[in-house]
Amino acid sequence: MIGKANFSGVTLAFLLAGVSLASASAKERVPIQREQIADALRFAGVPVSAEQVEELSVVFATKAAPALKVVSLAPLDGKLVKARLHCESSRICLPFYVVIHWPEASASDRAIADWRHASASGLRQLSKEETLVHSGKVATMIFEGQNVQMKLPVICLQNGGRGQQVRVTSTDRKRIFVARVDQQGIVRAEWGH
């Protein structure tokens, strides 16, 4: 009888620990926003607005603002294009699909052709308007973590557009960080990464 009671107590402890771990990991999952998807598509050479993007399901990532890459574009039905995206690691998010709505079929065909051309030529050159941080210029890096937010000036080591990862250095040039471009002169990094 005592052995059974201990076994039940141990089982209960494992169940509670499992619930605790499950709730902790659920808190760490962040939904990927439609605007983030549109940013990734624009960076890949597909000129879309967030309103044109239809999410087929809610996609979660293990960190905020993950780097998304467009893997493929395929026509669906005239004005519709299916896009497959994924994060830099499957531990951050699993591959997922979205549907892009175009006002006319010729626009969807042109978008696919432009994306294929941009993909074949390697990294697409950013326009002046798309470049939000500039190599050699000072920017503000925002470190974010659970209950922590810290801002510090950094020097950009690369040009970058919204959603791109760029290398930056502290103003004393002693530390190098990888951060994601957020807006004009602002980059973000996660605390502890």
Let me know: does 141 contact 156? Beta carbons within 8 Å.
no
Buried-exposed string 85-109: b where 16+ CB fall within 10 A, e elsewhere:
bbbeeeebbeebbbebbbeeeebbe
Based on the fold, state whether residues 88 and 145 are members of the same structural domain: no
Based on the fold, state whether residues 171 and 101 are members of the same structural domain: no
Q: What is the mean pLDDT of the chain?
A: 81
Threshold 0.75, pTM exceeds: no
pLDDT tens for each residue of 102-152: 999 888 888 888 888 777 655 556 677 788 999 899 999 998 877 888 999
Mean predicted confidence (pLDDT) in 148-163: 89
**For residue 185, pLDDT beyond 90:** yes
pLDDT band at residue 14 using 50, 70 and 90 as cut-offs: very low
pLDDT band at residue 19 using 50, 70 and 90 as cut-offs: very low
**For residue 45, pLDDT beyond 50:** yes
The tokens describing 90, both together, are: 């499957």
Based on the fold, state whether residues 111 and 49 are members of the same structural domain: yes
Based on the fold, state whether residues 78 and 103 are members of the same structural domain: yes
Q: What does DSSP assign to residue 162?
A: T
Last residue of a domain, one of 120, 153, 170: 120
- Hey, what amino acid is at 62? T
**Residue for token pair 């937010």:** 149
Which residue range forms the structural domain that includes residue 138? 131-190
Based on the fold, state whether residues 103 and 38 are members of the same structural domain: yes
| Structural domain count, the chain | 2
Based on the fold, state whether residues 157 and 84 are members of the same structural domain: no
Domain annotation covers residue 58: yes
Last residue of a domain, one of 93, 120, 147: 120
Domain annotation covers residue 4: no
Based on the fold, state whether residues 51 and 97 are members of the same structural domain: yes
Q: How far apart are the first and last CA of the chain?
A: 50
